Structure 1
Amino acid sequence: MGKLKFGVAPVVYPSIFLILLISFLNFHFHFLSFFPTNLVHHKQISIEEELSRARAAILEAGRSHSYIFNNNHKYFIPRGSIYRNPHAFHQSYVEMEKRFKVWVYREGEPPLFHLAPFKNIYSTEGHVIDELHHSTMAAPHPDDAHAFLLPVSVTNIVHYLYHPHGDFHPTRIGNILQDYVTILANKYPYWNRSSGADHFFVSCHDWGPYATAQNAKLFKNLIRVLCNANVSEGFKPVRDVTLPEINVPSSALNQPDLNHSKSILGFFAGGAHGAIREALLSHWKDKDKDLQVHEYLPKNISYLDLMSRAKYCLCPSGYEVASPRLVESMHVGCVPVIISEGYPPPFSDVLDWSTFSIHIPARRIPEIKNILEGIAAEEYEEKHKRVLEVRRHFVINRPARHYDVLNMVFHSVWLRRLNVRLHL
């Protein structure tokens, strides 16, 4: 393995400061600590000092419940109950836009590296990777970077290396990422000095977690930005990031924003993919006019139109935990009903999902109608209003705009980088 090292052991503390600060305003600093093995350049000392100042500013904003305004943020300031701590979130976001720099490694050739889909269900993978190649957040030199992107595309690996051969064993994905990191670790000091804790990769493919599963020791500190964010399969919310799954249409960046009158209690249409959907269809398929659950719709019926006429949109897991219906429902003004196990929704560090969504455990699928009918009209109206507020954070813009989905993903990575302190 050349210079690749496994002996730099982090000290893991009982709580993760900044994520918990945004969520619960915990006033104590706790960090994942890493000890570099080589002499660190003066610029890295400056970066760590800069991060320390950012932490202090976020803490002060959270404690004092105050906003620091600047010209870039006058047009939108996060407020209200959809945020766990809007003051701390706002300050953290301001600090990110002011400071955060990401180095995208140049090694690797398309289509397996630097390129991923911009359309279809895996599109957020492509847009995040591509945006970081062109964003003002891109570091001009790796010594200026706070974090490092491994620009590998699991979606394209599956498409180009698996589909032509009919070979669906996931080993190849892990080998590619491990070999790539080996090259980088032999060429640069950045991976070894943090054991990968300031590095991240992005995948919206169901097989994304397989990229690190083969060598858990090597990748134990890597920030994984995944659509398939399954806690029961090793996803760690304090280290990893839930990537929203957005099915980008061929003709636009986003589904249209709709908000029709609500004549349907609940709606779902989709195939019997996985145990949760099988249970949902078995119990409710085409059996109730108020809770409309369908396997597939006739071609002359609009999926989005029906969804926009429902008060609640059922978002069950498929073969994996994520569902594009979560974002689709918000675009059409429908309160999402999450039916999933072990899935931390996107941006839960800063968003309080209980204020604009419903979570129903899979075991309570037979009770769905009773549960939804038992929600008071006033509570529904509040949740519906908040859905219309929060959906701005789930819109794709190119280039990215303030507080949109791409910048929310970058903010999630920024929070996790703030939770790493390199001892210099």
Structure 2
Amino acid sequence: MSFCVRQESGFDNAPTWDGAVEVMPLMQRRRDVKLERLELGLAKARSVIKEAIRNKDNRPPLTDKDHVPVGPVYRNAYAFHRSYLEMEKLFKIYVYEEGEPPVFHDGPCRSIYSTEGRFIYAMEMENRMRTRDPELAHVFFLPFSVVKMVKMIYEPNSHDMSPLRRTIFDYIDVLSTKYPFWNRSLGADHFMLSCHDWGPYVSSADGHLFSNSIRVLCNANTSEGFNPSKDVSLPEINLRSDIIDKQVGGPSASHRPILAFFAGGDHGPVRPVLLEHWKGKDSDVQVSEYLPQGVSYIDMMRQSKFCLCPSGYEVASPRVVEAIYLECVPVVIGDDYVLPFSDVLNWPAFSVRVSVTDIPDLKRILAAVSPRQYIRMQRRVRMVRRHFMVNGPPRRFDVFHMILHSIWLRRLNVRLHGQD
């Protein structure tokens, strides 16, 4: 069966919450009543959220036993809260059971790629929004790990990614043959998740996966085909242990004597520029490749007002979340990176964005932030931290649920027309 796609107008330059892509058959067969029922529920949720957007200033905050989103850290706190509650009430996810660990249903839970493994594991254990009946699902999760594929399938130093791409292509072929759901939407209600640098490239193994499906990626690079209206930016979180509390919290502004700090490898297109201009040249902007022995990286971040987060080989940097954890205002340096949860979070309220061309002016830009403004920004960093916390088991509004909410918004952007 063939399909056509129609894009509708978006909301506030971001199609989430309002715009929709319609997927409809060019040749209609008998009605799919179950799908129509699912779409009716989504249409009602879409309407409720649109109403919340229109009336954000005319309604008191919604009640919530855990957290009430308020304040400038959100683009629209009221609409986000309403959307989140609608997600909890309605959203159902089906995880395909096909595939064997470690390439499927498994992933790294410690390392720079931990977000990938933690999500896969949490999704396997999820009860509230996971359904075992695919007929009730709004989205379908393809539970492969690109990190595990690289470890188990890729031949080191071969520069040949065709075995990884073939694995994904064959997996989708199995699912599309066994189930009707992939072909029904050409993948538009399916999602994959990868924190590996190669995630975007490997996703091109199937044209519909790349162009139609929701790709949840740490490497959220618009210059490489990342589409914010359908794809999701995944936070890169470098977890070295299960004890996260040691990585959280920091002193007030008055106990942070360093203006800005960065230490990291000289790789990628951005860091060489940063190191050239600032390495070892200014005590206020402390930039280095390697810290002296005995100097703690985390302590240096805790002593700094701003933590520099330049892109490396790829656009994402784990320093963004590290800075948020340690209450250091993140300075994102890069031009093509879509920041995580930017459909609901107002990043300019608690971070600084600097283009590569402005790296020589870093000190002037950061020194121009007044003490009062900085205190506000740091307070907002502390407020937004809950949305990046990794909890076991997951808790409401934490990073796992924020990822699900981003997927929920993208699914609201798609309307499937019932057919069988």
Does the alignment reach a TM-score above 0.5? yes
Once the two structures are TM-superposed, the CA of residue 212 in structure 1 deviates from its matched residue by 2.0
Report Cα offsets for 1:21-63 as digits up to 9, x if no partner.
66xxxxxx53201125654542222111111111111122222
- CA–CA distance in structure 2, aligned partners of residues 254 and 147 of structure 1: 33
In the alignment, which of 328, 349, 359 is matched to residue 355 of structure 1? 349
- Superposition pairs for residues 322-337 of structure 1, below 5 Å? 322-337=316-331
1:39–1:191 distance in 2 versus 1, CA, 3 Å: farther
Structure 1 position 181 matched with structure 2 position 172? yes
Structure 1 length normalisation: TM-score?
0.93
In the alignment, which of 221, 230, 237 is matched to residue 221 of structure 2? 230
- CA–CA distance in structure 2, aligned partners of residues 417 and 100 of structure 1: 10
SS at match of 1:35: strand
Match of 1:34 in 2: 23
Structure 1 position 194 matched with structure 2 position 185? yes
- CA–CA distance in structure 1, aligned partners of residues 174 and 74 of structure 2: 41
SS at match of 1:196: coil
Please say which of residues 243-252 and 264-273 is displaced more in the overlay.
Answer: 243-252
In the alignment, which of 143, 149, 172 is matched to residue 163 of structure 2? 172
In the alignment of these two chains, the number of paired residues is 410
Match of 2:291 in 1: 297
Report Cα offsets for 1:63-96 as digits up to 9, x if no partner.
22236746xx233100001101111100000011
Structure 1 position 397 matched with structure 2 position 391? yes
- CA–CA distance in structure 1, aligned partners of residues 317 and 344 of structure 2: 20
CA contact (8 A) 1:147 1:199 kept: yes
Match of 1:26 in 2: none
1:288–1:252 distance in 2 versus 1, CA, 3 Å: same
CA contact (8 A) 2:233 2:339 kept: yes
In the alignment, which of 143, 150, 154 is matched to residue 146 of structure 2? 154
Match of 1:145 in 2: 137
Structure 1 position 370 matched with structure 2 position 359? no
1:15–1:105 distance in 2 versus 1, CA, 3 Å: same
- CA–CA distance in structure 2, aligned partners of residues 140 and 18 of structure 1: 36
Gaps of 5+ in 1: 23-28
SS at match of 1:11: strand
Report Cα offsets for 1:123-161 as digits up to 9, x if no partner.
001111111111121112101101000001000000111
| Letter paired with 1:196 | G
Match of 2:7 in 1: 12
Structure 2 length normalisation: TM-score?
0.93
SS at match of 1:209: helix
CA contact (8 A) 2:220 2:316 kept: yes
| Letter paired with 1:101 | K
Please say which of residues 296-305 and 351-360 is displaced more in the overlay.
Answer: 296-305
1:17–1:380 distance in 2 versus 1, CA, 3 Å: closer
Match of 1:25 in 2: none
Please say which of residues 114-123 and 278-287 is displaced more in the overlay.
Answer: 278-287
SS at match of 2:260: strand
- CA–CA distance in structure 2, aligned partners of residues 320 and 364 of structure 1: 19
Report Cα offsets for 1:306-330 as digits up to 9, x if no partner.
1011000000000000000000001
- CA–CA distance in structure 1, aligned partners of residues 3 and 372 of structure 2: 54
SS at match of 1:9: strand
SS at match of 1:162: coil
Once the two structures are TM-superposed, the CA of residue 17 in structure 1 deviates from its matched residue by 8.6
| Letter paired with 2:117 | G
CA contact (8 A) 1:101 1:137 kept: yes
Please say which of residues 371-380 and 325-334 is displaced more in the overlay.
Answer: 371-380
Once the two structures are TM-superposed, the CA of residue 273 in structure 1 deviates from its matched residue by 1.4
Once the two structures are TM-superposed, the CA of residue 222 in structure 1 deviates from its matched residue by 0.7
SS at match of 1:156: helix
User: What RMSD over aligned residues (CA atoms) do the two structures have, in Å?
Assistant: 1.8
- CA–CA distance in structure 1, aligned partners of residues 179 and 16 of structure 2: 33
CA contact (8 A) 2:216 2:233 kept: yes
CA contact (8 A) 1:312 1:337 kept: yes
Match of 1:210 in 2: 201
CA contact (8 A) 2:105 2:143 kept: yes
